[in-house]
Structure 1
Amino acid sequence: MAKMEELKHRVASKTIKLVDGSGNPIAGKEIALKQTNHKFLFGCGIFDAIDVANKNVSAERLAFQERKLDQFLDVFNAATLPFYWGTFEPEKGKPKTKELKAAAQWLKDRNITVKGHPLSWHTVTAPWLLEMSNEEILAAQFARIEREVSDFKGLIDIWDVINEVVIMPIFDKYDNGITRISKDLGRVGIIKEMFAKTREFNPGATLLLNDFNTSINYEILIDGCLNAGISIDAIGIQSHQHQGYWGHEKLEEVLDRFSHFGLPIHFTENTLPSGHIMPAEIEDLNDYQIPEWPSTPEFEERQAKEVEEMYSILFKHPLVEAITAWSFSDDGAWLGAPAGFIRKDNSPKPSFKAVKKLIKEDWNTNVTSKTDDNGIVTFEGFLGDYELVCGDKTVSFKLDKDAEEAQLVAI
């Protein structure tokens, strides 16, 4: 695990002066400083929030989902919700805006930062696009971005704008509208159009380009985008490790290559199974779907070690701002892979305990101190949101790198 000196970019010092209502310093007073949230985004794909927020499942299933989400809320501060066009708007003109809004609001009310995934993708896209000309498809894609980005502004201000563009124009598994227009516009061209439209309707949003391809092809694409003046806020890197943990060396190598751009990096979709490893000869992960993929005690211990090492490497890197585990639970996990932190029955795996220890203990600040004769206290902590507790009074504040030298707090 990273040592404190390796995490200096994750911490800051703050000097606080406590005063009473008349402005007099409060000297020699015991106070507690409790971190309530991280600046760093520790997330999961948490599509279950749709069922819970809308209560559209049986009472038994709802109770099960609520227990699942209680465990998620105990550790994580970020969530990804699904905006796949084909499932969000399977019938033209009938988007599931109400259901997704309820889920996003439910998460926001619990202090969870929500990201939408994705606004444009050739897979799971709307089948009715195939009835249109390319010009009509592009117009429909623009209208879809305007609608979603406008409707969810304030609830969702982070978007995977466009997904997996490296393969998009040459994708040949089946015909789809988005591949058609990507052939017309080119890779950089379609990214430019989608980013511009998203930025138009939420100028302050954090916009990501996201891909599973970590080869030089993705680097070339990013370089082309930046040269074309496209404002990418963060580079999204998928890390579905169904065929085995990348390991320290590959992680460092990928980080080194994508750090050259100087942009924030989000590990957007991380998968580390606690079962057997998918055979190496499988080229497309989607082609490996089996009736049962069990999680076993031996592989759960391996998963916990891999999670601890990977999260520690990423948290140590100064450009990484977010890590999202793709499946919080094995229940309903992508491709049936046992990649969750909890099992199908909601019981926690060793990996849940490992990631909770990192986020809530090793990388969390919770200290007590005493004000000096001038009512001043100085502390160092991990960046994020805090509560200062003095007697029966509580004051909230943020700790950031550019934090002011002193803060007056009336108690």
Structure 2
Amino acid sequence: MRLSVFPACALCLSALLAPAQTWRDAAEARIERIRKAELTVEVVRADGKPAEGVSVQVRMTKHAFGWGTAVAGRFLLGESGDSEKYRRAILDNFNMAVLENDLKWPQWERDRETPLAALKWFRSNGIRVRGHTLVWPGWRWLPRDLKELAGNPEAMRRRVLDHIRDEVSATRGLLEDWDAVNEPYTNHDLLDILGREEMAAWFHAARGLDPAPVLYLNDFNILEAGGRDTAHQEHFYETLRFLIDRGAPVGGIGIQGHFREVTPPEKMLEILDRFSEFNLPIRITEFDFETDDEKLQADFTRDFLTLCFSHPRVDAFLMWGFWEGRHWRPKGAMLRKDWTPKPNYEVWRELVYGRWRTETRGVTDARGGYSVRAFRGEYEISAGGRTVRAVCPGLVRIVLP
């Protein structure tokens, strides 16, 4: 069922997702339980005595959860007015990013200076970065000379490992994780020649060159298509098991999210729970929802964000682009070409920078203490004219002059 076929008045998201309140209530309870922790402030005077009745302001500066987007590297570094707005929108809305195309193998070999400059821009602005992708093993996504090596498996094997060595070494210290292998269900030309076991060698090679980035297997149609693509789901699950059983250093599960129709939240929770059996972090790596119905798009975005944020194994959620002017599916963007916000952008702001962000104030008690249950992340705490940085969960002590 493609949503664009139906007019907005004929398609009620709450009806599709019934019983909506049941899953939403459970999700909100999980968010309260797993995404918040105790942040305690202790205020004392210069003589060490508790400072009672002091006003304390608590303001989150950065979320522990990853809220990200795909970014076009060359455009990010451009000098146009739109590039400046693009950079500003990234800084205003995201704490994580992934280069949409610039780190893919063919693009990397044509131009490595652009992605390296973009990665350094992210680092200088405190933005965490995913690497996408080391090996996308289908001819369509590989340098042309790989196909010419089809009759020489050993030369092909060396070519792939040389690429991994080159790119991982060049980006060392700049990335939080890598999609080590991307979409092997539909892109398996290299695997048909080298064998599936070669994937484990790719993971090992990447880990040996840089032990810091978490290595992910990434694929699509796990949550999409109404949850009906069970063949794709089974292959993804079995591939993860295959790699782990062979000792591959798989550190995370990348689940895309290129939607054209609604998948019921109960079904998505069931799928996420199944992949949680691996006890690995799950990242929603590539979300967009392509539809002409902007209200439906916003409603589904709200529900999908809520569902994912409520799941204990999910630790990051990345949009696959945000601006219509630089989006592979322009209808999936959150900001129009003229930079005006769409309803799904308002949902993002309402949740990520509103409901799921802690900014509060209170007064210290007789022991000079003030505690708040806050969303996990980094904070600025102000009391008695002093401002300090803190992390939730945690205890911070402020000494007044």
Matching of residue 272 in structure 1 with residue 280 in structure 2: no
How far did 1:339 drift?
Answer: 0.5
The residue identity in structure 1 corresponding to 2:213 is A
* Contact map agreement 1:166 1:213 (CA 8 A) in 2: no
1:331 aligns with 2:351: no
Q: 1:100 to 1:392 in 2, by over 3 A?
A: farther
| Match for residue 276 of structure 2 among 259, 265, 282 | 259
Normalising by structure 2, what TM-score?
0.83
1:332/1:29 Cα in 2 relative to 1: closer, same or farther (>3 Å)? Answer: same
1:63 and 1:249 map into 2 onto residues whose CA distance is: 43
- Provide the residue aligned with 1:141 in structure 2: 160
Letter in 2 for 1:319: R
SS of residue paired to 1:324 = strand
- 1:382 is displaced (CA, Å) by 0.6
The change in CA–CA distance for 1:150 and 1:21 in structure 2 (over 3 A counts) is: farther
- CA distance, structure 2, for counterparts of residue 128 and residue 330 of structure 1: 34
Aligned to 1:163: 182
Q: Does 1:40 align with 2:68?
A: no
Query: Is structure 2 residue 79 aligned with structure 1 residue 86?
Result: no
Please give the residue correspondences for 1:278-357 in structure 2 after superposition, counting only pairs within 5 Å.
299-334=293-328, 336-357=329-350
Match of 1:93 in 2: none
Matched to 1:17, the amino acid is: E
Contact 2:379–2:389 (CA under 8 A) maintained in structure 1: yes
Matched, 1:183 2:189: no
Match status 1:407 vs 2:396 = yes
Q: Kindly state the Cα deviation for residue 337 of structure 1 after the two structures are TM-superposed.
A: 4.2
Identity, in percent, stands at 29
Contact 1:157 1:202 in 2 (8 A): no
Q: Which residue of 1 aligns with 2:16?
A: none
Contact kept in structure 2, 1:160 and 1:210, CA below 8 Å: yes
Over residues 336-370 of structure 1, what are the superposed CA-to-partner deviations in whole Å (9 max), with x where a residue is unaligned?
Answer: 44111111222110100011100011110001122
Looking at structure 2, the residues matched to 31 and 39 of structure 1 have their Cα atoms a distance apart, in angstroms, of 22
Letter in 2 for 1:200: G
Partner of 2:241: 223
- Corresponding position of 2:131: 116
Inter-partner Cα distance in structure 2 for 1:237 and 1:161: 13
Deviates more, 1:125-134 or 1:349-358: 125-134
CA distance in 1, matches of 2:66, 2:155: 37
Structure 2 gap segments, 5+ residues each: 1-23, 223-232
Match of 1:398 among 382, 388, 391: 391
Deviation readout 1:263-320 (Å, 9 max, x if unpaired): 2111111120242xxxxxxxxxxxxxxxxxxxxxxx1111100100111111111111
Spell out the pairing of 1:348-387 with structure 2 (5 A cutoff).
Answer: 348-387=341-380
User: Do the aligned partners of 1:28 and 1:372 also contact (CA within 8 Å) in 2?
Assistant: yes
* Cα shift at 1:21: 5.8
The separation in 2 between residues aligned to 1:51 and 1:223, in whole angstroms, is 39
Higher mean displacement: 27-36 or 16-25 = 16-25
SS in 2 for 1:355: helix
2 CA distance for matches of 1:349 and 1:163?
Answer: 30
Q: Do the aligned partners of residues 19 and 199 (structure 1) sit closer, same or farther apart at CA in structure 2, a change above 3 Å counting? A: farther
How many angstroms apart in 2 are the aligned matches of 1:152 and 1:23? 48
Q: CA RMSD in A?
A: 2.1
Distance 1:19 1:127, change over 3 A: farther
Structure with the larger helix share = 2
TM superposition score normalised by structure 1? 0.82
SS at match of 2:322: coil
CA distance in 1, matches of 2:30, 2:146: 50
Aligned to 1:100: 115
Letter of the 1:266 counterpart? R
Structure 2 counterpart SS, 1:307: helix
Are the counterparts in 1 of residues 60 and 378 from structure 2 also a CA contact under 8 Å? yes
Instruction: Give the distance between the partners of 1:67 and 1:77, measured in 2 at CA.
Output: 17
Identify unmatched segments of 5+ residues in structure 1.
91-95, 170-178, 276-298
Distance 1:372 1:249, change over 3 A: closer
Match of 1:208 in 2: 216
Rounded Cα–Cα distance in structure 1 between residues aligned with 2:109 and 2:87:
26
Residue 192 of structure 2 aligns to a residue whose secondary structure is helix
- 1:66-77 matches, cutoff 5 A: 66-77=84-95
* Equivalent position amino acid for 1:191 in 2: M
